[in-house]
Amino acid sequence: MSSEKIAIKRKYLYGVDLMRLLFILGVLIIHTSTVFTYKFQVGSASFLTLGSFHMPMHFTRMGFMFISGLVLFLNSYNRPMHLIKFWKRRYFWVLIPYFFWNFIYHLVEHDFEKISTGNWWLQYWDLLIHGNGYYMYFLMVMLQLYLCYPLMRFLFKKTEGKHLIVFFCSIAIQLLITIFTKFIFPHLATENWPYLFKSYGMFVLTYEGYFIAGALAGIHYSDVEKWIVSHIKQLFIATLIGIPTMVLYYFYNIYILKLSYNKAYEVHQPLIVVYALIVISNIFYVGYLYDRFVKNNKHPKLIAFVSKAQKIAFGLYLTQTIALSILRMMIIPIPNGSWYIRLIWPLATIFVIGFSGALCWILYNTPIAHYVIGRPLNKRGTNVRI
């Protein structure tokens, strides 16, 4: 038993922790920029500039999905499957934050006195079954992903030796999904469709290509790492080309395709699939470098910081609504369209990340409270990945 634990410990990949942290920080950066985007007149040059910024940053949500699939299969694929135990563990650490933060945010947003009314609880129930409030969509997707886990595992077991084909097929399907959501879905009458079909951003199958890519990267981690390391120059150049390409893609959507501003920088677009996978590969390489730093005991201060920060990464996502709400109140006095908003934006991003991080660290080290950020209570010397 002890030798098994030692073997598992030796396989711990610190680069995965950094990747997950970077993707979540990217999500917070995008959400902060959205707050500032609407401080400018819709359609103005400043509005379009911030809107175009969303496009190169859209890899963050897809990276979030990718790393979720990776972590899910990294250590579990070659172990016996105990499905009930798996579901208990996964749902326990997701459902508590899901119920708690929906409750808190809904309570704060509405009159406290109305909590005793049936309508308040109906609204709360609506939030729970739809996952469409306070950035809780990701948790809704995770709840579906855990249900799909045995099917994904079955698929991978049955196609061993052909996983590269599975990968390319899943990406082809992902491209078809984005073509459908961009060009066909807006013209359909979807009022009577099931909720997850018409609210495709909440539907796990909308992200199937990223989950499968992440899962296969977890199963074949060493092989994927070797391929990325050997092709990093090409991948880096592709990223440098991809960033301005995505900016131009935003303006192409607006001025050529005549899409709405919201639809123009939506994440579900064909070109984003390719671009996101390229950037994810680059961040995978950054994780590889970090893993080497840790194993070679280089940059101990950086390692210590990342080690602490990655433990509250999920909490950053959960608590961002608090920081973003405070930010919205803080910038109300600033006149819309003011030139110095551009200077405040980077500082505001640091505030959102710093505030959420400080709050999460307190919760992480507090008995009982640690459950609401989906992490075991901080204990010196433990290193648990949920």
Cα-based distances in Å from 158 to 78, 145, 269: 14, 19, 31
Tokens of 376: 């075991």
For residue 341, name the pLDDT band (cuts at 50, 70, 90).
confident
Q: What digits encode the pLDDT tens for the residues 243-291?
A: 999 999 999 999 999 999 989 989 999 999 999 999 999 999 999 999 9
Which tokens hold the place of 279? 């950037």
Output the six-digit token pair for 301: 């201060």
pLDDT of residue 50: 85
From residue 156, alpha-carbon distances to 68, 164, 175, 221, 328 in Å are 16, 11, 21, 15, 45
Q: Which two tokens stand for residue 157?
A: 């077991």
**Which residues make Cβ contacts (< 8 Å) with residue 190, sequence separation at least 6?**
197, 198
Which residues lie closer than 8 Å to 194 by C-beta, 6 or more apart?
Answer: none
The domain locations on the chain are: 2-373
| pLDDT at site 75 | 85
The amino acid sitting at 47 is: F
% pLDDT > 90, the chain: 81
Q: Is the dihedral of CA 34, 31, 23, 253 positive or negative?
A: negative
Element (H, E) at 289: helix 270-295
* Cβ neighbours around 148 below 10 Å, total: 15
pLDDT band at 11 (very low <50, low <70, confident <90, very high): low
| Over residues 316-344, mean pLDDT | 93
State mean pLDDT over 125-146: 96
User: CB of 109 within 8 A of CB of 258?
Assistant: no
